[in-house]
Amino acid sequence: MPVKGAEYAYAVGRIRVLETRLLDEGRLDRMVESSSVDEAFKILGETEYAHMMAEVESVYDFEEILQAELERIHLLMQEINPQAHLTDLISLKYDFHNLKVLLKGKYLKETGGAMDDLLLPMGTIPLEDLQALIFDEEFQEDDYELPEEVCRAVEEIAEEFEASGDPQLIDLSLDRTLYEMLVGRAKELKSTVLEELFVREVDLTNIKTFLRVKRMGRDRRFLRRTMLPHGRLPVDLFSDLLDEPLEALAESLEKSQYADLADVLVREWQEKGNVTGFEKLADNMLIDHLRQVKYTTLGLEPLLGYLYAKETEIKNIRIILVGKVNGLPMDEIKERLRNVYV
C-alpha cells in the first residue's frame, strides 16, 4: 500500500534543501545594521540571491532582483509540485493583480507601455487570456480556460463601473472575488492548512480594513463593501462596531484568536496613529501558522511554508533595502521586519 502523500516525497526533499538557504534572522540583522546600501547589498550577495545580482547594474535596481527571485520560486513550485493547483492558489493573487491593472488600464484608455510594466508574470492564468477577457469585444468564455468566477467578476465590474465610474470598485470587487475563490477552492480540496491560512488572512485584513474605513469616516454601506467574505469574524460584528469607540473592537475580539493582535492594534492606533505593528503581527501570525506544519514529512504543507517564507523574505529584503537607500533609522526598519520562517 502506498504511503499517503508519497507523491510529495521528491518535492519535500527539494524544499528541505532550499529551506536551509533561506535568510536567517542573523543575516537580516546584519543587513539592517550595515552602514550603507552597498554593504547591505554585499551581504545579500553572500546568499542565494548572488546569481541574480550579477545581472543588475546598480544597487538601486534591487527591485528587479526581488522580482526575478519571486518569479523563480513560483516557477519552481509549479515544476516540483505534483499537485500544482494547490500552490496555484497562492499565486492566484498575482492574476488578480494583473486583472486590476488591465481593467484600470482599459478604463483609463491606456495603451501598451506604462501598463505592461505593472503586469506580473507569476500568475496562473496566461496574460494573453486575461487580455482577451478584458479587451476583446467578442470574448467567448468557452474559448479560454478561465475560472468562471473571474469572468463573472469582470462582467459585474463592467456594469458597475459604467454606472459609477469609481475605480475603487474594481479593487474592492476583485479582492472579494479572490478570497471567495481562495476559501472556496481550499474547501473543495479539503486542505485544512490552506483553508485556515486564507480564513486568517481574511480576518486580519478585515480587522485592518475596519480601522482604515473608520478613520476615513465612511458609512456602514461602504464598510460592508470592503469586507472580505468567509472570515471567522462576522461582517455584522464590524458593522455594529463602526460607531463605537475603538476599545470596543478589542473587547469583542477578546475571546477570539486575534485577541493579542487587537490589543496591539488599538494601543498602537491611540498612541501613534498608525498600524505598522499590527501589519507586522498579522504577517507573523500567518507565518507562525505555517511554521506549525513545517515538520510534516510528506504533504503539501512544507511547500506552502516555503512559498510563504520566500514571499516574506522578499518583503523583508525590500523593507531593508528601501530603508537603507532612503536612510531610514535602524529601529524604524527593525520595527517593520517580519518574522522569519526558519
Partner 1 sequence: MDIKVNPTRMELNQLKARHEVAVRGHKLLKDKRDELVRQFLERIRKNKELREQIEKELSAAMARFLLARAVMSAEVLEEALMYPTAKMSLEVDRQNIMSIYAPKLSFKQEASVEGGEDNIYPYGFVDTSAELDASIETMAGIMPKLMELAELEKAIQLLADEIEKTRRRANALEYVMIPRMEETIRYITMKLDEDERAALTRLMKIKDIVRAKV
**What is the binding site for partner 1 (CB under 8 A)?**
63, 66-67, 93, 97, 100-101, 104-105, 107-108, 117-120, 164-168, 170-172, 174-175, 178-179, 205, 208-209, 211-213, 215-218, 226, 228, 273-276, 279, 315, 318-319, 322-323, 326, 328, 332, 336
CB contact set of 210 (below 8 Å; sequence gap of 6+): 223, 227, 238, 241, 242, 249
Residue 281's nearest CA partner among 295, 267, 302, 300 is: 267
Q: Which is nearer to partner 1, 7 or 149 (CB)?
A: 149
Cell digits of residue 194 = 490552506
DSSP string, 88-145: HHHHHHHHHHHHHHHHHHHHTT--SHHHHTT--TTSSS-HHHHHHHHH-TT--GGGS-
Task: Find the shortest distance in angstroms from Cβ 270 to partner 1.
Answer: 15
Q: Which is nearer to partner 1, 208 or 289 (CB)?
A: 208
Q: Least distance from C-beta 81 to partner 1, angstroms?
A: 23
> Rounded to whole angstroms, how far apart are CA atoms 223 and 161?
19
In the complex with partner 1, which residue's Cβ is closer, 119 or 235?
119
CA distance 116 to 102: 9
Q: For residues 76 and 122, which CB has a smaller minimum distance to partner 1 in the complex? A: 122
Nearer to partner 1, 72 or 104 (CB): 104
CB 94 to partner 1: min, Å: 9
CB of 65 to partner 1, least distance (A): 12
- 51 versus 272: smaller Cβ distance to partner 1: 272
Q: How far apart are CA 8 and CA 5, in angstroms?
A: 6
In the complex, the smallest distance separating the C-beta of residue 166 from partner 1, rounded to whole angstroms, is 4
Q: How far is the CB of 12 from partner 1 (least distance, A)?
A: 28
**Residue 61 DSSP one-character state:** G
Judge whether 248 and 214 are in contact, CB under 8 Å.
Answer: no
